[in-house]
Amino acid sequence: MASPVVDDVKVERIYDITVFGASGFTGQFVVEELARVVDEENDLKWAVAGRSSEKLRAILVQAQEITGKTLENEIDIVVANVNDEDSLKTMCQKSKVILNCVGPYRFFGEQLVRACVENGCHHIDISGEPQFLEGIQLNYGSKAENAGVYVIGSCGFDSIPADMGVCQIREQFPGIVNTIESFLTASSSGSGTVGHYGTWQSAIHGFANSKELIGLRKQFQHKPMPRYQPRLTKRSSVFYHDQSSKWAIPFPGSDVSVVRRTQRFMHEKESMRPIQYGAYVTISSLFSLFMLIFGGLIFSILARYKFGRNLLEKYPRVFSFGAFSHDGPSRQQMAESSFTFTFYTEGFSSKEVEEKGKHDLKMVTKVSGPEPGYVATPIAMLQSAFVLLSETDKIPGSGGVFTPGAAFAKTSLIKRLMEHNFKFTTVTEAKQI
């Protein structure tokens, strides 16, 4: 792969991959998955990093016990703290790619991106925070490009399935894609599942500061995107989706923001027709829907005030009605959980039909996989890193801030994901409406 530029520094990049925040809840599963699959790649050297060497050592011991791979005394430990610029610099100069698992990214993310750009090291994160992701694009896009550094955000469950799912549909659809709506269904058998506190905390502060996005987006001074007809169906904040036979709400994560950025990139850089995209989540029962509306109301009031945010942070289980906790899911709960995105695509069979502005083709596809936060996310993050290391020639440009779709559309990422427990399937082949 082409080496990023670092001025005036003699740098020896000892590690192909450094997992930063390896001692965190998500970080530990990234370490385990890396230990499991690293031998599938060509002679790859990796390290774990974080602010406590004791915790990192314990993570290596635990991953060794679980995977049966020799890690203790084999895998290096790098001590680095977001608040210590020199430690970040040293870590970046030793690494080709850093997998950043330290969040919430709005508090801890920018420092490492800056260090990566200044020290010629690629950066992959699993942020689901649009303000962070778009802010990094605004403030580091050209700097990263000039440095030959790839900063690729949202490479976890947010937003690889949605973004790569849309990329695959564009390839597969036998005509012109105009609109895609995705409906996420999360399933868990047995005792149900929970998300870990880190994601809850990111959601609280993302919601509290969601207005920032308006100002941020103005600063890009983007040209308006072309407005194709028919427009994407306008959905209300709660609606019944006939095709899923379920109630649904808009997906509260970063998928729409990420997919739209990918579509803008493809339109501006590759002259592609942008696809209109909407993301929704299905709700399993009317009772769950009422709980969600009630919980959402309390969350939205509390998240506005410091006192309320403190309460939300202190009692995640109470205020999320059991959806998040300080402990996160058990391994058993993770083993019993999965996700499915169902994509409903509509478009035109030809240019002539497109001119009439009425869809004549539709198709239904799915992207599914294991437990989203701590099984699917490490798989997606690691396969993204392997692709970045081995297929740089298929990633556009020579650096910059990218979404997964913009970076990986032409690479083997989907194939790799399918080899690692993700499924990309066609439910109904494209047919006339």
- State which residue, 104 or 120, has the beta carbon closest to ligand NAP: 104
Q: Pick from 131, 202, 262, 342 the residue near ligand NAP by CB under 6 A.
A: 202
Q: Which amino acid is at 409?
A: A
**Candidates 162-170, 195-203, 275-283, 361-369 — which segment interacts with ligand NAP by CB under 6 A?**
195-203
Q: Which SS3 state, helix, strand or coil, does residue 126 take?
A: coil
DSSP 156: B
Q: What is the DSSP letter of 403?
A: -
Angle at 406 between CA 229 and CA 342, to 5 degrees: 60
Q: Is residue 250 within 8 Å of residue 288, measured between CB atoms?
A: no
In angstroms, what CA-CA distances link 166 with 81, 177, 191? 36, 10, 32
Q: Which of residues 323-382 bind ligand NAP (CB under 6 A)?
A: 373, 377
Binding segment for ligand NAP (CB under 6 A), chosen from 22-30, 182-190, 265-273, 307-315, is 22-30
Residues 377-396 as x/- pattern, contact with ligand NAP by CB under 6 A: x-------------------
Nearer to ligand NAP, 347 or 405 (CB): 405
Take residue 111 and report the two structure tokens written for it. 């420092």
Structural tokens at position 132: 């962070």
198: contact with ligand NAP by CB under 6 A: yes
- Does position 83 bind ligand NAP by CB under 6 A? yes
Residues that bind ligand NAP (rule: CB under 6 A) add up to a total of 30
- Sheet of 400-402: strands edge to edge? 76-79, 46-50, 15-20, 95-100, 122-125, 150-152, 400-402
CA 184 to chain centre: 15
Residue 133 near ligand NAP by CB under 6 A: no
CA distance 176 to 195: 38
- Comparison of 267 and 317: residue with beta carbon closer to ligand NAP: 317
CB of 235 to ligand NAP, least distance (A): 23
Q: How far is the CB of 31 from ligand NAP (least distance, A)?
A: 11
Residues 273-302 that bind ligand NAP (CB under 6 A): none
Structure tokens at 347: 């478009």
The span of 71-79, 194-202, 278-286, 383-391 binding ligand NAP (CB under 6 A) equals 194-202
Encoded tokens for 50: 């974080």
Site residues for ligand NAP per CB under 6 A: 21, 23-27, 50-52, 55, 81-83, 101-105, 108, 126, 128, 156-158, 196, 198-199, 202, 373, 377
